[in-house]
Amino acid sequence: MTDASTSRSDPASGRAVTGPAFAPPGGAVHPRDSSPDHPCSVAALGTVVRDYVAKLGSPWIEGEVTEWNVRNVGTFARLRDLEGDAVISLTIWSRVRDRLPKDIKPGDHIIVCAKPEYRVRSGDLSYTVSSARHVGLGDLLENLERLRSQLRAEGLFDPERKRPVPFLPHLVGLITARNSDAEKDVLRNAELRWPHVSFRVEHATVQGDQCVPSVLAALRTLEDDPAVDVIVIARGGGDFQDLLGFSDERLLRAVARARTPVVSAIGHDADRPLLDEVADLRASTPTDAAKRIVPDIAEQLAIVRQVRGRLAARVAQKLQHEG
């Protein structure tokens, strides 16, 4: 049996080296047949990937728009998976964009018909869109109703599992958007009712693809603070799709597991998010939340005066009777 290796001279050193007797050009090796001694070339690998991707055709893809950048030549967008963190980049050339809905924006739930294309030279995978449309409102409502039924069956809406909000919390946790009207309404009205109330505010994104992870992070932060007695999640209303994050199953289950009582103050009566059902207390607006989490000092002082007046009257009556 002959040895597959042979000796040859290294051009640089002149020393004898041992290696394969014959190594075919890299481009001649298919990636699945490659080995340490017979690697495939970058071009060969890229060509195989390109040909495989081309066989996928133009699938319809569902997701949430996270970026929508309009340029003269076209629109460059990103589409995120509805359940996880997977993201793809989309290219919509201007001639196609003119046929699409004009109101697509970040945060929208859409489906697109996109052809994936792998570019061998750059190693980039792109998706060229030929059609796109919003997911029908009926589909969204159907999904929400299915989730509502599931959570109700699990008992997450039951009044018995709701935790009572303390009469006078020492520290209130507030989750809301930075510099928002909702933040100002809660703080101002709570302080008007009880001037010495204290807040720990955690700012979060309350719309779009970052809403759920941002609110979840804020919730975990406040949950980990033993001084926080109640947590308020506040937003100043919005349209149906803007509020979808507050019906996300991940957020709902986190609120249900929370040890600290949670107040939902999303401020939308027409299309109430499912957070209203899972939270321990539902407030119709951020202002209403302020009224529900702290007592009114004027009302409490009036009650004290009434009680003292009744006690004084009874004592006087008792003394008069004994005298």
Does residue 159 share a domain with residue 294?
A: yes
Does residue 250 share a domain with residue 177?
A: yes
Does residue 262 share a domain with residue 130?
A: no
Burial class (CB in 10 A: 0-12, 13-18, 19+), 293: buried
Q: Which of 163-167, 270-274, 299-303 has the lowest mean pLDDT?
A: 299-303
Rank 102-111, 241-250, 254-263, 268-277 by mean pLDDT and report only the highest: 254-263
Q: Three-class SS of residue 176?
A: strand
Q: Count structural domains, the chain.
A: 2
Does residue 105 share a domain with residue 173?
A: no
Q: How confident is the model at residue 271 (pLDDT cuts 50, 70, 90)?
A: low
> What's the pLDDT at 268?
64
Does residue 274 share a domain with residue 174?
A: yes
For tokens 């996109």, what's the residue? 114
Does residue 108 share a domain with residue 64?
A: yes
Q: Which of 80-94, 283-297, 309-323 has the lowest mean pLDDT?
A: 309-323
DSSP character for 290?
Answer: H
Does 234 reside within a domain? yes
Does 268 reside within a domain? yes
CATH number of residue 118's parent domain: 2.40.50.140
Model pLDDT for residues 140-180, shown as the tens digit of each residue: 778 888 999 999 999 999 999 999 999 999 999 999 999 99
Which one, of 130, 138, 131, 140, lies nearest residue 108 by Cα? Answer: 140
Distances 110 to 6, 70, 105, 107 between C-alpha atoms, Å = 61, 17, 10, 9
Does 209 reside within a domain? yes
Does residue 281 share a domain with residue 189?
A: yes
CATH number of residue 208's parent domain: 3.40.50.261
Does 185 reside within a domain? yes
Model pLDDT for residues 246-270, shown as the tens digit of each residue: 999 999 999 999 999 999 999 766 6
> What's the pLDDT at 323?
62
Average pLDDT, the chain: 87
54 and 65 in contact (C-beta within 8 Å)? no
Does 321 reside within a domain? no
Does residue 234 share a domain with residue 191?
A: yes
Does residue 203 share a domain with residue 117?
A: no
Does residue 87 share a domain with residue 205?
A: no
Does residue 279 share a domain with residue 191?
A: yes
Domain range holding 72? 56-136
> What's the pLDDT at 46?
92
Does residue 290 share a domain with residue 195?
A: yes
For CA atoms 285, 288, 290, 294, give the dihedral sign.
negative
Does 218 reside within a domain? yes
